[in-house]
Structure 1
Amino acid sequence: MPATSPSILYRQHLDIVQQRATAALERGGFDHLLVPSGTLHYQAFDDRDYPYAVNPHFKAWAPLTRNPGSWLVFTPGHKPKLVYLQPHDYWHVVPEAPDGHWVEHFDIKIIRDANDAQQHLPKNSTRCAILGEPQSSLGKYGAYKPNNPAPVLDYLHYHRSFKTPYEVEMMREANRTGVHAHRAAERAFRAGASEFGIHLAYCQAARQDANDLPYSNIVALNEHGAILHYTERDRLPPKDIRSFLIDAGASHAGYASDITRSYATDTGGEFQALIDAVDAAQRKMCDQVRAGTDYKRIHIDAHLALAGILRDAGVLKVSPETALETGVSSAFFPHGIGHGIGLQVHDVAGFAASDSGGSIDKPAGHPYLRLTRMLEPGMAVTIEPGIYFIDMLLDEVKKNGHADAVNWDKVEALKPYGGIRIEDDVVCTDGEPENLTREAFAAAA
């Protein structure tokens, strides 16, 4: 069996997860780790449930994402226990019995009622670190209520930033699925489909819907590309389709991909030239994802690079350095360069100073950066520079006395195209970074 087989990678992954859990319990002074998978949440004054989202701490152990009411129990020195809810139910599909290469690593207890989990949990709940949401409480008077102890969470969250080879492989598969769907979405755009139609083409190609995707798809035509989290999805296409921005990911075994691409209808026009320039700059930014690099430095360098592109395009009249110092660059690039990614699309511990807590501040004037740590091997991040033409932010440039820095005629000509964003998922290694997204696009081509 090859060293990269899923079963071997998973076994190695689980060994590391157990080592981390043991150390985290020691930090917190607990004997046992309990992780509920989570419960269904219901809408107010209704019996409709919201889409279920599994506890990320639960799916870090087992590749289960649709199993509310289950529990993971770990006591150092003992085989992990999976309390698996398989209810008697004729209203819904009942989860099948656990199966696959991973099940041999667990002591599996099947229960038919969620309350029956308590009999399989450690008797003294006060000795348990219980990680989850309040709704997962179990037992009389909520004896097994999640306590989320800070020393345990700080340790686990910090080290979750370092992906195991198994996790990288799961993210690689999520990128392959996402890229396949992105190509279908581009074809739908080229064929003149509406935003809603493109979204459906994406979901069909990914074979995932709202309950599967790691986040709500951003599918934006024309001016809608200037709305950073645009999710309205018009049902009819605009009369004149000029541009297309899609930010959409996919899931695999509980792990996420996060991919963004931008397109122009006129492939030889000015907006396409801007896209090409951002794409070239983004590739260089991805190459900065190397051990020992401060992620904040990549963010600041991105501002300089994007301001240089805008200056070369005739949009800015000032140097990139001046655009950065005056805040003008932030009007065109208002978000952070990226974030951690893994079990969650915006993964935890982006600001963690150490596994004992503390935080690393964001650069002054850049409130939306989601990661401030030094990059180390095993960390997985996104790199997503963007250029947008947003009225509200451009008005602030004028109010702040920097109107002379901008060629407003050029801005007016480009505003109908909305914006540009290009995003890849990149893993930091001991050497060259591994770009999971570009790798998947190259394979698909």
Structure 2
Amino acid sequence: MSSSLSARRSRLAAALALDDALLVVGAGHPVALPEGSDQTYPFRSHAEYFHLTDRECAGGVVVFDPRDGVETGWVSFVPAVTEAERVWEGRRQTEGTDLNALAGWLEARRGRPIAGLGAPPVDLAIDGALSARIREAFSHARRVKDEGEIARIRAAAAATAAGFATLAPLIRPGQSERALQIELEAGFFRAGASRPGYGTIIGSGPNSAVLHFEPSERRLRDGEFVLVDAGAEIDRYMADVTRTYVAGTPSGFQRDLYDVVLGAEERAIARCVPGAEWKALHLATAVDLVSGLVSLGVMRGQPESLVEQEAHTLFFPHGVGHMVGLGVRDGSGLQPGRLKDPRPSLRTLRMDLPLAAGYVVTIEPGLYFIPPLLTDPARRERFQACVNWPLVDQHLATGGVRIEDNILVTSGSPENLTRAIPKRW
């Protein structure tokens, strides 16, 4: 086991406050495809298991007994590789203690409460309330990325930059969204990526206003926005980047809208310092975006008041970002002890916590012309005085702009891990 993994386990053991309880973390098992083809969905160990082992191991279980010490109390149990797995898959035995010995380990500790994380064995008597408390502490503790994790995110960011460098010259009228996806992801792989970190999003024209649009065969037209949200994954750690381009020559309105989003993104990045409250950062970014829309004549009124009225959600319906690392929203959620803010405008905000050094977050403001929102009669009535509706109607097919970078919070100025991917046309 590497020294960095040992240090990670020790740090987590100290943070979990298990007292005399046992910790059992399971990797999970492959899920069979439904058509009886003797195939499974691609297997990925549960993130909580992977964080403690740095490996994929179907059926693996890692346990911890605090009585045995923060460094020596960990045992990794792994299933024995079968002959069929060796023959058909070329699988090799994973290092660790035979999974059959888990029952004896547990029997020797009979009567003690068990916290189960990941996908623990189904036959264990898991303490649900204890597990929920430990999961909250575990999730919070692993928000701070260690040096090894940051190195993997940097590598994923570099592979992502290579893919976007391949993509950018290809964005022109006549190309299809699907063709762009193929070249982008090929660029990731050529630069060392294991896989795309999540389903690649590429939307052109009106599709650029669909927040999670799956690339289609639609071909780009001259003067259209092309929104690309994608990231490479290396050893389970990933980047998450969005850039918005124009196929051909942008209009003045498109340039102005893009500049509003870019300015808001750059100001939000500068706010990513230790102690900054994520919710306050989100709302400040919403004010910046609304200020831009007021200057463009799209909205009317004082920006702070418009955000208080939740009018910004017409054009900025999502949160300003989330955590990223071991998963596309790794570690997002609430600060321990906090409750979800009930305001409707914050229902899509993925975090409510103060930032700390070692956190890696996305900053991804956006402005969109989304017909289902902007043609809704109830919204039009509610925000009648807040919006220049005739101008909005002229731009219903404009699509949208999102710009997203991955930011490492440090003890000093924030570091943009994806700064190598150009944002200016």
The alignment's TM-score, normalised by the length of structure 2, stands at: 0.85
Distance in 1 between residues matched to 2:339 and 2:82, nearest whole Å: 43
Instruction: Flag the 1:92–1:436 CA change in 2: closer, same or farther, 3 A.
Output: farther
Q: Which of 23, 27, 32 is the aligned partner of 1:37? A: 27
Partner of 1:320: 303
Given that 1:180 and 1:205 are in contact with CA atoms closer than 8 Å, whether structure 2 keeps it comes out as yes
Distance 1:319-1:358 versus aligned 2 partners, 3 A rule: closer
Q: Separation in 1 of the partners of 2:179 and 2:387?
A: 36
1:347 aligns with 2:341: no
CA contact (8 A) 2:164 2:421 kept: no
Partner of 1:56: 47
Question: Tell me, what secondary structure is at the counterpart of 2:52?
Answer: coil
Q: Percent identity?
A: 26
Greater shift in the superposed pair: 189-198 or 357-366: 357-366
Structure 1 residue 251, shift from structure 2 partner? 1.4
Please give the alpha-carbon distance, in whole angstroms, between the structure 2 residues aligned to 1:145 and 1:46: 32
Q: 1:219-243: per-residue Cα shift (whole Å, max 9, x none)? A: 1111011111111x21241555611
Counterparts of 2:148 and 2:86 in 1: how far apart (Å)? Answer: 36
1:21 aligns with 2:13: yes
Q: 1:393 aligns with which of 373, 378, 383?
A: 373
Gaps of 5+ in 1: 1-6, 99-107
- Of the three residues 165, 173, 177, the one matched with 2:155 is 173
Pair 411,28 (structure 1): closer, same or farther in 2 beyond 3 Å = farther
Q: Give yes or no for the alignment of 1:94 onto 2:90.
A: yes
Aligned alpha-carbon RMSD (Å): 3.0
For 1:319-338, what per-residue CA distance to the aligned partner results, in whole angstroms no more than 9, with x for missing partners? 31232132221100001111
Equivalence map 1:268-287=2 (5 Å):
269-287=252-270
- SS of corresponding position for 2:367: strand
Alignment match, 2:356: 376
Equivalent in the alignment of 1:361: 341
Amino acid at match of 1:19: R
- Distance in 2 between the 1:56 and 1:129 partners? 16
Change (3 A) 1:196 1:403: same
Is residue 109 from structure 1 mapped to residue 88 from structure 2 by the alignment?
no
Identify the range of structure 1 (238-247 vs 306-315) with the bigger mean alpha-carbon deviation.
238-247
For the residues of structure 2 that align with 1:362 and 1:287, how far apart are their CA atoms? 27
Is the contact made by 2:322 and 2:332 (CA closer than 8 Å) also made in structure 1? no
Cα displacement string for residues 236-274 of structure 1 (whole angstroms, at most 9, x for unaligned residues) = 415556110011112122212111111112246421332
Q: CA deviation at 1:352?
A: 2.5
How far off is 1:91 after superposition? 6.9
1:13 Cα deviation (Å)? 4.9
Q: What's 1:423 paired with?
A: 404
Alignment map for 1:291-302 (pairs within 5 Å):
291-302=274-285
Distance 1:121 1:227, change over 3 A: farther
SS in 1 for 2:301: coil
**Match runs of 1:218-297 below 5 Å:** 218-231=201-214, 233-238=215-220, 240=222, 242-265=224-247, 266-267=249-250, 269-297=252-280
Q: Does the Cα contact within 8 Å between 2:300 and 2:386 map onto a contact in 1?
A: yes
Contact 2:177 2:203 in 1 (8 A): yes
Distance in 2, matches of 1:183 and 1:190, equals 14
Partner of 1:244, secondary structure, is strand
Partner Cα separation in structure 2 for residue 253 and residue 283 of structure 1: 29
